[in-house]
Amino acid sequence: MNRDIKCILRIALPTPLHRLFDYLPPQSLDLKELVIGARIRVPFQSRTLIGILIEIAAISSIPEKKLKRALEVLDTNTIFPSDIYQLAQWAAEYYHYPVGEVLLGALPSALRKGDVLPPSVTHTNTALTSAPGSDAPLPLNAAQQNAIDAIRMALNQFQAFLLYGVTGSGKTEVYLRTIETVLSNGKQVLVLVPEISLTPQTITRFRARFQAPILILHSGISEKERMKAWIAARNGDVSIVIGTRSAIFTPFSALGLIIVDEEHDASFKQQDRFRYHARDLAVMRASINHLPIVLGSATPSLESLLNVQRKRYTCLSLPERAGGATLPRYHMLDLRRTSSETGLSPALINAMRDHLEQDNQVMLFLNRRGFAPVLYCCQCAWVAGCKRCDVRMVYHHQPLRLQCHHCDARKAIPEKCEQCGAAPLQPIGLGTQRLEQTLEKYFPDIPILRIDRDTTRRRGAMNEMFEHIHTHSKAILLGTQMLAKGHHFPRVTLVGIVDADSGLFSIDFRAAEQMGQLLLQVAGRAGRAEKPGTVVLQTRHPEHPLLHTLIHDGYSAFSTSLLLERESANLPPFSHLAVFCAEAYDAQVAKQFLETIKQLHTANTHSVMTLGPVPALIARRKGLHCQRLLLKATQRGALQQCLKNILQKLEALPGRLPVKWTLDIDPIET
């Protein structure tokens, strides 16, 4: 080795710092063996870390005497196929998250810790051919055929499709037919699904159609399984990967198509640490790989609808339910004269009786678990709150206790008011446990199945309940949004939405969109088979225009009116947001930190607006005060440049920061 030629390794490390780290190569290394994208072990502070080689440079800004030597090169080949590598780099830049964290985070943990990667074997893709499974494909209707033709035409090039089909319109059938074509071309398919809809039902349907190998990736599988799946996909030993959001980083040897089902679902956005949106990364990945991508939904996000309007996405619509099933009929019921403790208007109870008498099932939706959201003193108006969070504790009946739904703190029910000591306390308001109790009184002979986070905690509990629902006739299903998605309940003919109002008056500008999506998803559970469905919405605002548009004119009219509102208020998707959030035990410290950031933001003041700092909606969580600073710009480029400047200056600040802070790009909760 010629000692005069300098060789500096620029390495991405899993640390919070937004930069690469310079090292000298290991002493006894033949430089010809270095490849970009290899894992390298290096000394870092008092530890050793594994990083990824990003660049080989001739000079470093650090004096040579201070440069440390890397310890060991772990790979003779790049660990990432180039598309994953590009995707991670793009994501790191876009979300302003350290590239080392993104890259290392995309690896199975064994590889992150330095395990040897078995040499990749290229297979002749016999395993991928699509031998038909046991389940014969259905004859298609014209809209389905049209959608499938359009996607088939686009194989081998980047094109984004929005498959916009009402619930039960046969979107899954469109996916299956297109997948069949891709597999017969010897290629692989990635299907992203929301957390909650990765059900045995979904998987069974895929397995019944294809004999080709299918792997499932979600947060519940073991690290060993994850590693196996990662290697299998990379080597071309698997045809279809069905996974939740992090599956977007799966390497494939011959990816041919990406599908994102229920593209509007909030679970595609990671809500801590690296806050990426898997749908948006999926579109990016399709573009990097020159593939078509299909985003499917009955209630598309406003972002995707605007992309259709702007002709970036092609819309394929399935306007009718497949196989002759009809869409449900809606009825609105005024809740103003009904006691909030029962929660059920007499008209809803009568409708339930009618449907149950005809041996059908009824589903009630209430998005609040526990018995009652408030425990209240009638004497002095004291309310039981969480010690560590600024929220009320929820009264739970089974088991009997108070519970914080934010930090999971639990405590015994106080015998008397903690403030005046005088009166016994009253549970106020309605949760699923209380509704269950009421239903037992009205319908003593009917099985009642409550499905919420409390009844489905045990592994397998959810499936046992679904089993019960599918094998019995008459039943009342009662649940939170866990019930809303992905499942088919062919015997359900009546859906009751106990409280349709939650999204109408929220200060979060996305609340109405989310409410509309949720209501239609819940409503979509009704009458999916030969039996027509009825949906009853209980509301205290029967005259509310948004509710009217939603149920009389449908989601297209509803979303169009929301888009107009967003446009006139210059809110996303017509503008772009980023939120800095700072947490500290002292609210003032958190606020001061965000004031500093605001001052760092000197350039571009006219094109990037700041709002705040203000306390978060829940101002204190787990004892930490949380403040937020919102940045908004009409041009994404201006916002990105401004954030880059801020982060550079922030890292240059001396000393340790007194707060824990995060940056969220395109936040979905504001």
Q: How far is the CB of 380 from ligand ADP (least distance, A)?
A: 51
* CA 51 – CA 70 distance, rounded (Å): 10
Q: How far is the CB of 164 from ligand ADP (least distance, A)?
A: 10
Residue 377 in the binding site for Zn ion (CB under 5 A): yes
Residue 486 in the binding site for ligand ADP (CB under 6 A): no
Site for ligand ADP in 312-371 (CB under 6 A): 322-323
The region of 135-143, 181-189, 235-243, 394-402 touching ligand ADP under the rule CB under 6 A is 135-143
| Among residues 170, 194, 373, 516, the one that binds ligand ADP under rule CB under 6 A | 170
Binding partner of 170, given ligand ADP, Zn ion, none, CB within 5-8 angstroms per partner class: ligand ADP
CA distances from 592 to 70, 85, 586, 588 (A): 39, 38, 10, 6
| Among residues 51, 162, 164, 171, the one that binds ligand ADP under rule CB under 6 A | 171
CB 106 within 8 A of CB 249: yes
Q: Which helix (H) or strand (E) holds 84?
A: helix 82-95
The region of 55-63, 70-78, 90-98, 372-380 touching Zn ion under the rule CB under 5 A is 372-380
The region of 11-19, 134-142, 565-573, 643-651 touching ligand ADP under the rule CB under 6 A is 134-142
* CA 503 – CA 562 distance, rounded (Å): 13
Residue 140 in the binding site for ligand ADP (CB under 6 A): yes
Nearest residue to ligand ADP, scored by beta-carbon proximity: 323
Residue 177 in the binding site for ligand ADP (CB under 6 A): no
| Among residues 205, 228, 331, 406, the one that binds Zn ion under rule CB under 5 A | 406
CA distances from 598 to 42, 296, 376, 631, 666 (A): 36, 39, 41, 9, 19
Residue 517 in the binding site for ligand ADP (CB under 6 A): no
Binding partner of 420, given ligand ADP, Zn ion, none, CB within 5-8 angstroms per partner class: Zn ion
Residue 382 in the binding site for Zn ion (CB under 5 A): yes
Q: How far is the CB of 498 from ligand ADP (least distance, A)?
A: 24
CB 374 within 8 A of CB 365: no
Amino acid at 564: L
Tell me whether residue 144 or residue 301 sits nearer to ligand ADP (CB atom): 144
CA distances from 540 to 332, 371, 505, 515 (A): 10, 21, 12, 15
Cα angle 594, 598, 603; round to 5: 155
Q: Give the tokens for residue 449.
A: 């199945």
Tell me whether residue 154 or residue 176 sits nearer to ligand ADP (CB atom): 176
Binding partner of 404, given Zn ion, ligand ADP, none, CB within 5-8 angstroms per partner class: Zn ion
Q: Give residue for tokens 């196989």.
A: 323
The verdict on whether omega for the bond into residue 613 sits within 30 degrees of 0, i.e. cis, is yes
Residue 141 in the binding site for ligand ADP (CB under 6 A): yes
Residue 168 in the binding site for ligand ADP (CB under 6 A): yes
* CA 279 – CA 285 distance, rounded (Å): 10
CA distances from 215 to 2, 173, 236, 361, 551 (A): 49, 19, 12, 34, 39
> To 10 degrees, the CA torsion angle through 412, 437, 346, 449?
120
Tell me whether residue 170 or residue 572 sits nearer to ligand ADP (CB atom): 170
| Among residues 14, 108, 165, 496, the one that binds ligand ADP under rule CB under 6 A | 165
- Give the SS3 label for residue 539: strand
Tell me whether residue 234 or residue 620 sits nearer to Zn ion (CB atom): 620
The region of 150-158, 256-264, 381-389, 470-478 touching Zn ion under the rule CB under 5 A is 381-389
- Give the SS3 label for residue 405: coil
Tell me whether residue 146 or residue 235 sits nearer to ligand ADP (CB atom): 146
Residue 533 in the binding site for ligand ADP (CB under 6 A): no
Residue 173 in the binding site for ligand ADP (CB under 6 A): yes
In angstroms, what is the C-alpha Rg of the chain? 27
The region of 62-70, 300-308, 365-373, 401-409 touching Zn ion under the rule CB under 5 A is 401-409
Residue 144 in the binding site for ligand ADP (CB under 6 A): yes
Q: Which residues contact 71 (CB under 8 A, 6 or more apart)?
A: 26, 40, 41, 42, 43, 48
Q: Give the tokens for residue 111.
A: 């590889």
Tell me whether residue 406 or residue 544 sits nearer to Zn ion (CB atom): 406
Q: How far is the CB of 482 from ligand ADP (least distance, A)?
A: 17
Q: Which residues bind ligand ADP (CB under 6 A)?
A: 138-141, 144, 165, 167-173, 322-323
